[in-house]
Amino acid sequence: MPEHKTYIVEHLDPELGPWSALEYRAIARETAGCDGVFMLSSLPEGFQVPEELKQESAFRAETRGVEDLYPEGKGKERVCLLDPAADEDLNPDDKRDFDVFLFGGILGDDPPRDRTSELRKKGFTGRRLGPVQMTTDTAVRVTRMVVEEQYTLDMIPYLDHPELKFGEKESTEMPFRYVKGKDGKPIMPEGMVDLIKKDADKSIDDLF
């Protein structure tokens, strides 16, 4: 059994937008902290990986898909798909049974469109992280806490659907579950609050 875990996000969206770029950089940085590997798989040939991501030591870019990387009989049984529709929740003992944790490279949507089903139908063993949709970086963070730090899901402090306030009047409710940081705020990738604010300003401008 390899000592360090691999966290894979299978690229499923046509592009890698600025939200995903920030989420993936946060995943790469935090994965380096536990000597793990963070892989973005199924990238189209010649795909331009954002420079900031390439520089992260834990990061690997991969054009093969997860089925080719871990075929039946050659590691597939050691891959766990984090799946909001799985029957069983992730628990600390899963550390023994899995080396690879697989996530859908999909931006969160509200209501969720269950695009994780694209990976579910490939037949990987699934585990749920509780009933509420998380952002991809939160899902990886929670998985790491359970697997590496041996938290049970109910020990983790969460913030559901937090409201981000910008100045006096503007605010946005985020339709996801986050881990609550020591400062009582949702843990988000560096630069994300500014990006959300910029996007909110843009949609307000579009109204006029």
Residues that bind ligand SAM (CB under 6 A): 82-84, 103-104, 106, 108-109, 112-116, 128-130, 132-136, 139
CB of 200 to ligand SAM, least distance (A): 19
Give the nearer residue to ligand SAM in terms of CB position, either 53 or 116: 116
Give the nearer residue to ligand SAM in terms of CB position, either 87 or 183: 87
Give the nearer residue to ligand SAM in terms of CB position, either 97 or 170: 97
Helix (H) or strand (E) holding 170: strand 170-173
CB of 171 to ligand SAM, least distance (A): 21
DSSP conformation class of 176: S
DSSP percent split of the chain into helix, strand, coil, nearest 5: 30, 20, 45
Helix (H) or strand (E) holding 205: helix 192-206
| φ/ψ (deg, to 5) at 137 | -65, -35
CB of 116 to ligand SAM, least distance (A): 4
Give the nearer residue to ligand SAM in terms of CB position, either 53 or 137: 137
CB of 51 to ligand SAM, least distance (A): 24
Using CB atoms within 10 A of its CB, is residue 23 exposed (0-12), middle (13-18) or buried (19+)? buried
CB of 9 to ligand SAM, least distance (A): 8
* Rounded-to-integer distance, Cα 177 and Cα 132, Å: 6
Give the nearer residue to ligand SAM in terms of CB position, either 132 or 195: 132
* SS3 at position 56: coil
Residue whose C-beta lies closest to ligand SAM: 104
Q: Which residues of 114-147 are buried (b: 16+ CB within 10 A; e: fewer)?
A: eebeebbeeebbbbebeeebbbbbbbbbbbbbbb
